[in-house]
């Protein structure tokens, strides 16, 4: 079973589902099943962090490059906020991450680095300049 997992995880998953349906517990690849279940949570966390980074990056650009504001940035900001809201509705346990100062700081560092690489903007703040509630609010537009 280990080889199938390494060679074709989709076929492995189908096989494992069949074994569970047939209640063939002794044949299950428990180590890899546990790993895959844990990875589902990690994937959702990565997606949330990615969306938050894109959102923060666009808010930084909006704030520090007012002459370049346009529909594209506005659209991206709105889309990311909506997608984050849907992610949090679908996976309520992710809400705890938004209260984790270290997790938010890591997301901000990544967003700041990406924004600097894209814009060369030298005066980006070292820390997130807005509360996370403001960042996620559809009504917030930094001026």
Mean pLDDT, 10 residues at a time, the chain of 143 residues: 83 96 96 90 94 98 96 98 97 96 98 97 96 98 93
pLDDT for position 1: 47
Q: Which pair of tokens denotes residue 12?
A: 């492995």
Name residue, tokens 């070292």: 126
Planar angle of CA 23, 29, 34, nearest 5 degrees? 100
pLDDT for position 81: 98
pLDDT for position 33: 95
pLDDT for position 117: 97
Q: Which pair of tokens denotes residue 45?
A: 């966390």
CA distance 134 to 16: 44
pLDDT for position 143: 85
pLDDT for position 123: 94
Question: For 82, left (φ over 0), alpha (ψ -120 to 50), or beta?
Answer: alpha
pTM for the model: 0.83
CA distance 4 to 13: 9
The residue among 105, 102, 108 whose CA lies nearest residue 53 is 108
Cβ–Cβ under 8 Å, residues 16 and 24? no
């Amino acid at each position: 079973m280990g080889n199938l997992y390494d060679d074709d995880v989709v076929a492995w998953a189908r096989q494992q589902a069949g074994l569970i349906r047939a209640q063939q517990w002794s044949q299950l690849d428990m180590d890899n099943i546990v790993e895959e279940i844990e990875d589902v949570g990690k994937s959702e966390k990565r997606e949330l962090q990615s969306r938050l980074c894109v959102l923060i990056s666009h808010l930084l650009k909006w704030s520090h490059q007012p002459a370049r504001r346009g529909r594209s940035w506005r659209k991206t900001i709105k889309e990311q906020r909506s997608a984050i809201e849907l992610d949090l509705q679908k996976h309520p346990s992710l809400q705890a991450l938004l209260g984790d100062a270290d997790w938010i700081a890591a997301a901000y560092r990544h967003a700041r680095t990406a924004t600097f690489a894209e814009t060369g903007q030298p005066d980006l703040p070292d820390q997130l300049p807005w509360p996370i509630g403001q960042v996620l609010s559809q009504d917030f537009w930094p001026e």
